[in-house]
Chains A and B, each alone.
Chain A
Amino acid sequence: MATAHDDMSWIRRNRMTLTPLLFLAPGVLFFLAYVIIPILQSFNISLYDWDGLGQATYIGLDNYRELATDRAFEISLWNNVKWLVLYLLAIPAGLFIALFLNQTIVGIRLYKSLFFFPFVISQVVVGLVFSWFYLPREGLLNAVLGVVGLGPINVLGDPTLATYGIIAAGLWPQTAYCMILYLTGLNAVDPEQIEAGRLDGAKGWRMLWHVILPQLKPATFIAFVVTIIGALRSFDLISIMTNGGPFGSTRVLSFYMFEKALSEYGFRMGYGSAIAVVLFLIMLVFIGYFLWSMYQDEKAARH
């Protein structure tokens, strides 16, 4: 009886430590097993030559040395840069549409939802829709170009154009996402500051730049975060629209890694992991920046 009572009081005394521990345990364990440990494992596997089934042989940094001279890797890396830079266009484009739609006319809610529509459908369907849109013979793009006397162009068949064609498809849902972030942000803009700005004679661009944009900063931050992540995660569109082609010109790191590790080009898990590590290191720069900004907010919130 006495021990049972002691147990009870030990639990009671430490309940402020035990409760969060027990509540965290399942989530943290799951996340460690499927996300954190695999990141570390990728670093380890990248030092081996391994086909995923047989014995892995330790080869040190050989995979990375091979990367340095791999032309396909260079193209993929370069395409990732294009994705990163051009994908950011979604932010001003989203702001533009948000400003355009931030009115109160009949049915504006429905219009806003329909503008947002592309974000809700899967990237697979977006990819299919755009690859049909670009078709040289059946596609709507060339039908429209034909009317104004241009074309026909085969966007996805041309190695110099294909990546841009895919990025344009990706910008479609991403712009919709940024738009909704800004529409929500615009709702929260302080009307008194706008009035004050008007009294100071600010309007149009000056008002936007000096009064509105500073208040939209939280929305811009989230738009920036999700757009960077989206650009580095690009895979579905490439897989659906060109499958890396023509002549490997549309590969990005995540796609090249998949090809090397899991497709008919052979099961080179080590080499694939080395590509994953490079991709992770690129992302780490951004993750570091995001976490730092969030940490600043946390500190500010505590005081």
Chain B
Amino acid sequence: MFPTPIEKRSRGAQITYQALVPLALIMWLLPLIAVALFSIRPLADFTNGNYWGLPSSFEFFSNYGKVFLESDMPRYMLNSVLITVPTVIGAVALSCMTGFALGIYRFRGNLLIFFMFIAGNFVPFQILMVPVRDLTVSAGLYDTKLGLVLFHIAFQTGFCTLFMRNFIRALPFELIEAARVEGIAEWRIFWYIVLPLMKPAIAALSVLIFTFIWNDYFWAIVLTQGPDAQPVTAGITSFNSQFVAQYHLMSAGSIVAALPPVAMFFMMQRHFIAGLTLGAVK
């Protein structure tokens, strides 16, 4: 193991290290801790200039209550769910199929199609803005959740295909050959042999795509514009203009908006990290 395990160092070094890690963590998360502290303060603290002293009262419930009861936040959150979940299902389903085709079969153009997916996935997606917005408007899907979902599915299919194809490549190919010798139809091989083995990949991609899509902001402001369809990342800006300069409420609002992917990460940590490392670093 590198660096040298701390257990092999002197007692003093061990104690220093154990004190240093939490201290470093607090420094690292300082901007976030500041926001969390803001979100439980009363308005009076800000007007009195008491930003960092003890809060004059503990307003956790009233601040977060306001976020849920006196703003469009719940609608934006619901929109985010209704955009994110179908995208995850769509992108994972499509890429299971493309990954299977590219991972199992040898045919001309296999690598070319695979590289098309990778290259498309790498582009700074903003360059697609004008044509994709035009396409969405002319399909009558501007300012709808469906318009956003369709684009997200298509774009995420690039990344998901990269992941799925590499995952399938690493499966034992003898299984498929044995099935073919038995005369099992190709689609049955996919459904009964490959798909069950892909469960970890499906889990990893699902949490990862959930986070990516939940956190998307650019496409939300390009393809939607009101509380009917906008997800929470775009909604937070209108939320902030509703409560302008009321830092306690804006802080509470941001924390609420950030929470679902955080919860997802802590519940599915192992899968999440497997996905992030593209499965390449095992």
Q: Could you tell me if A124 and B101 are in contact, using CB atoms closer than 8 angstroms? A: no
| A298 at the binding interface (Cβ < 8 Å) | yes
Q: How far is the CB of B31 from chain A (nearest CB, A)?
A: 4
Name the residue on B nearest A186 (C-beta): B2
Give the most central of A122, A124, A180, A239: most B CB within 10 Å: A122
Give Cα distance in the complex from A123 to B221, angstroms: 14
Query: DSSP majority for the A interface?
Result: helix
**Contacts known (A24-B97, A128-B254); A123 close to B217, Cβ less than 8 A:** yes
B278 in contact (CB, < 8 A): yes
Instruction: Pick from B64-72, B197-205, B265-273 the stretch touching chain A.
Output: B265-273
Q: Name which residue of chain A comes closest to B240, CB basis.
A: A128
State whether A180 touches B277 (Cβ < 8 A): yes
Min C-beta distance of A16 to chain B, whole Å = 7
Residues in chain B near residue A41, CB distance under 8 A: 130-131
Q: Please, which residues of chain B bring their CB within 8 A of the CB of A105? A: 6, 17-18, 21
A120 and B120 contact, Cβ closer than 8 Å, known pairs A24-B102, A34-B154, A257-B126: no
For A257, list chain B residues within 8 Å (CB).
126-127, 129
Contacting pair B261 A121 (CB below 8 A): yes
Total inter-chain residue pairs, C-beta < 8 Å: 283
Question: A132 touching B105 by the CB < 8 A rule?
Answer: no
Q: Do A118 and B32 touch (CB < 8 A)?
A: yes
Complex: A23 Cα to B97 Cα, angstroms: 5
Binding site for B on A (CB under 8 A): 15-17, 19-21, 23-24, 26-28, 30-31, 33-39, 41-42, 45, 52, 99-105, 108, 111, 113-118, 120-125, 128-130, 132-133, 137-138, 140, 143, 172, 177, 180-181, 184-186, 188-189, 191, 194, 207-208, 211-212, 218-219, 222, 225, 229, 232-233, 235-236, 239-240, 254, 257-258, 261-262, 269, 272-273, 276-277, 279-280, 283, 286-287, 290-291, 294-295, 298, 301
